[in-house]
Amino acid sequence: MRRGGFTLLELLLVLLLISFVAAAVIPAYFSRSDVTLENAAVLLAKDLRAAQNRSAFMGEATVVEFLPDGDGYRVLTKEGRPVDNPRNELPFERRYSIDGVFRGVVIREVHLEHGRRLEYDDRGEPKQAGRIVLTFGNDTRVITVNPPYGHIAVLGTSSGFVDLGY
């Protein structure tokens, strides 16, 4: 009498097939410029909010410095010391060239009064308005930061990102 069910070999073949399909589909999905750029823009907006919250919580100024080559940004104290990312306790830095998901994203333009540095005071308020332009292929997203409270907007968003202010 034979019981119903799957053999180990059948299960392994199904898992192998699923792995091949995932290996083909996932990179194709993330190579779509609108998906990659949208995710990078929303992550930047959330990181700006995290830097602002850090300033207010710690009661000290925080600086978001955009790298000169357009490859990313880092969060520093006003004195230039690296700040830890609150999510993982590693230095708060993003480099698009080493992150496989965001490879190809470039910070094309940074429009800030202090060059390539967005400064938050010890209350978490940005010292100036700013505009950061991200590109990937032919697609563009613009992130704006507006005083006095640091409202963040992602212009051209396809995900419907809304800054909730925290």
Q: Where are the domains of the chain?
A: 34-155
Q: If pLDDT is split at 50, 70 and 90, which confidence band does 157 have?
A: confident
Q: What is the pLDDT of residues 118-152, one digit of tens each?
A: 999 999 999 999 999 999 988 999 999 999 888 99
Q: Is the pLDDT assigned to residue 26 strictly greater than 90?
A: no
Q: What is the pLDDT of residues 70-85, one digit of tens each?
A: 999 999 999 999 999 8
Q: What is the pLDDT of residues 90-104, one digit of tens each?
A: 899 999 999 878 889
pLDDT of residue 28: 63
pLDDT of residue 44: 95
Q: Which tokens in the block code for residue 123?
A: 């209350």
**Amino acid making up residue 137:** G
**Whole-number Å distance between alpha carbons of 97 and 72:** 8
pLDDT of residue 65: 97
Query: What CATH number has the domain spanning 34-155?
Result: 3.55.40.10
Nearest CA to 144 out of 124, 134, 129 is that of 129
